[in-house]
Chain A
């Protein structure tokens, strides 16, 4: 759901960066308290995730480095630091460090009921916030300068969205793990984007796609057995994206190809008609028959386009001869005007 905002804000890989950036937070939380406590880990992850995000923003704002570099830097440097801490922890005597690294790859099966409740509550809160600030989010998303002139505090809204994205990611880490979290954030939103141009519909669709891939993914992994849940969920989500890419009615590749072909045939037909018009004009009787052979050298002519012209009743064919009808003549005469009109409308 929040992924929609990330995708539209061109911050798709934020999820990836933050989920990596959360690692040192977890490690530091462990270093400080010395025991495993998943709530405190979440807090640590949240803090370091937020630091990571603001670092990314700072770098892109203050230097000439681009956002991709900033993301890559944050991701790798935070993660590296986290690795240092983790290995350091592992070398400590009496450290009950086992299980720290399950955070990296995620295990939905290890989730407890409390965790589920926590996720549900956070999801509820973020939904509420989304509804309350819907207008502000929307306007900030599409026209930041306009939002500023309207007197909204853009920084506040921006931080609000980012914080919620970070919270969602950190919670999701437990379920699908670091690497797959970015896909969970992105894939449903990217798929939803293909079906609609409206933000509201997109957010709802993304939520549905996300939930669907979650349920189906978990289902498959339990039925087949010996498959970890995370990757299966991601693959399901990826196939939804793939299907959306191809079959969505407006933006999909399939329909685009069909439209493309249609247009091309149309142009071919019009070109042939225009050429015939040029020939027919030179004769007194427009329906004077000509052989089809003279059309052969002309580009754009094909049997198919000729057949279409006949179907439209613009041309009549008689054996190896063709002749133009009155209707076709008028159509051809107006062809250019028509096209100019079309492009202007």
Chain B
């Protein structure tokens, strides 16, 4: 690692944290898309600022851009308040309009200067370390400046510090106004001020991060860590910490992924974020795929390096052929290695990650089904004293179950000591009767508080 690499990593980590904090609140307030709107409409602010000062590095640009962000929010709120359209439509109307004005202004007036949409829309990090903040420059004398280090670190660092200070000062207020604006108003702190405060902070953060990662990836950095953290926890503090952690993790590992693939840093950061989110959203499938990919990737990379060094003409091959050539080098041992690595990794991942997703969901539904069937079965036995109704065979026709299913239910009940079977006639044990009584209570009680206590009793019989 050379110093430029370290600096880039520091910058992306700072950006990630600075974005994650307001992002968490945006996600909780169901306003994630505002960040998208802001990130687009600041273009207008930048363009107008550019026309005023004719200088792309002036701080006025940042101020105007942040202002444009706030204006967007106000416009959206205003349209929403009229009640003519829904909130999301209001967002969708405002930012394309502002963005269009920005684009038109550029194409109309700035054709000959270095300010095109591409450079505004797609941020680039790799040059950030070489853009130092210079102060005390004396006109005309080179090297008279005091070099304070990369500018991006200063900009994003200051924004981060302000965000953190505001967060600690107003944590309580933010929390209350996020979850219960009515209560916040009743307690005497205005939800509106909180709202606009948060919006201003988000706007400034987006502008600050914008240089480094471009507008759409700012949105990713704001929403994705927060959404991932939200799937993990419902505690606000934990959520904030987790989303910062995810952000930084994605930033650092995204940097190395970009280094490996020789692609854009912001793109790979988002890709890591996407993988993180998928891991939490669909843990089983994704962790298997990811560990397979990691396993294959390590082996692939070793052969790739080897081929680049030793095989003449390899570099000039097309991408598809390159990949083919590398894979022909694989031997059986490599595949075994990949599988072992993947198995260990995915087992580890599945252990850490929350239990959700398609496969686990299916398992859960089956469990619940069995539980309900057991209940139905017990209730049926309880309701009938006559022997003919309690015959094992009778269940098939009466409750309409297939043979295997009813057999497994009877076995489950037997295992839990709820029934006894004599001469194929089923009768409830004392435990079974108690349980059924409770179940009836459970079914006919509507109050949540009472059900909560009872739930535990039923979990006993899972599986």
Contact = CB atoms under 8 A, between A and B. Distances in A.
Whether both chains belong to one complex is answered with yes
Interface of A: 7, 10-13, 15-16, 20, 31-32, 34, 59, 62-66, 68-69, 71-73, 75-88, 91-94, 101, 104-105, 179-180, 182-183, 185-187, 190, 193-194, 226-228, 230-232, 234-235, 238, 241, 245, 251, 253
Interface of B: 27, 30-33, 35-36, 40, 79, 82, 84-86, 88-89, 91-93, 96-97, 99-101, 103-104, 107-108, 111, 117-118, 121-122, 214, 216-217, 219-220, 222-224, 226-227, 230-231, 258, 261-264, 266-271, 273-274, 277, 281, 315-316, 318-320, 356-357, 361
Contacts of A15: 92
A186 B37 CA distance: 14
12 contacts: A12-B88, A34-B319, A62-B281, A75-B216, A80-B216, A81-B271, A84-B261, A84-B268, A183-B93, A187-B96, A193-B84, A253-B84
B84 A238 contact: no
Contacts of B263: 84-85, 87-88, 91
Contacts of B216: 20, 75-76, 79-80, 83
A71 B32 contact: yes
Given A73-B277, A253-B82, A62 B92 contact: no
A94 B320 CA distance: 13
B77 to A, nearest CB: 15
Q: For the complex, would chain B's binding face be called helix, strand, loop or mixed by DSSP majority?
A: helix
A11 B92 CA distance: 10
A80 B274 contact: yes
A230 B100 contact: yes
B264 A194 contact: no
A1 to B, nearest CB: 16
Contacts, number: 206
A254 to B, nearest CB: 11
Given A15-B92, A73-B223, A238-B93, A59 B281 contact: yes
Contact of B104 (A34, A62, A228): A228
Closest A-B pairs by Cβ, 6 of them = A80-B270, A84-B267, A183-B96, A76-B220, A231-B100, A83-B267
A65 B230 CA distance: 8
A84 B271 CA distance: 8
Contacts of A83: 122, 214, 216-217, 264, 266-267, 270
A212 to B, nearest CB: 17
B223 A76 contact: yes
Given A187-B96, A226-B108, 17 more contacts: A10-B86, A13-B36, A16-B36, A65-B227, A68-B88, A71-B33, A76-B217, A80-B217, A84-B264, A84-B268, A87-B263, A93-B315, A101-B118, A104-B121, A185-B92, A230-B103, A245-B79
Contacts of A13: 33, 36, 88, 91-92
Contacts of B316: 93-94
Given A79-B270, A80-B220, A231-B100, A194 B318 contact: no
Given A12-B89, A81-B271, A87-B267, A235 B36 contact: no
A75 B122 CA distance: 15
Given A80-B266, A83-B266, A235-B97, A190 B85 contact: yes
Given A63-B281, A83-B266, A88-B261, A72 B35 contact: yes
A120 B79 CA distance: 34
B126 to A, nearest CB: 10
B264 A87 contact: yes
B227 A73 contact: yes
A55 B57 CA distance: 39
B93 A187 contact: yes
Nearest to A20: B216
Nearest to B228: A73
A149 to B, nearest CB: 23
A319 to B, nearest CB: 47
Contacts of A62: 281, 356-357, 361
Nearest to A91: B262
A293 B281 CA distance: 74
Contacts of A241: 93
Contacts of A34: 318-320
A16 B14 CA distance: 28
B92 A16 contact: yes
A233 to B, nearest CB: 8
A144 to B, nearest CB: 17
A93 B316 CA distance: 7
Given A84-B268, A187-B93, A226-B108, A68 B361 contact: no
Nearest to B280: A63
Nearest to A252: B84
A237 to B, nearest CB: 8
Given A31-B319, A232-B104, A12 B86 contact: yes
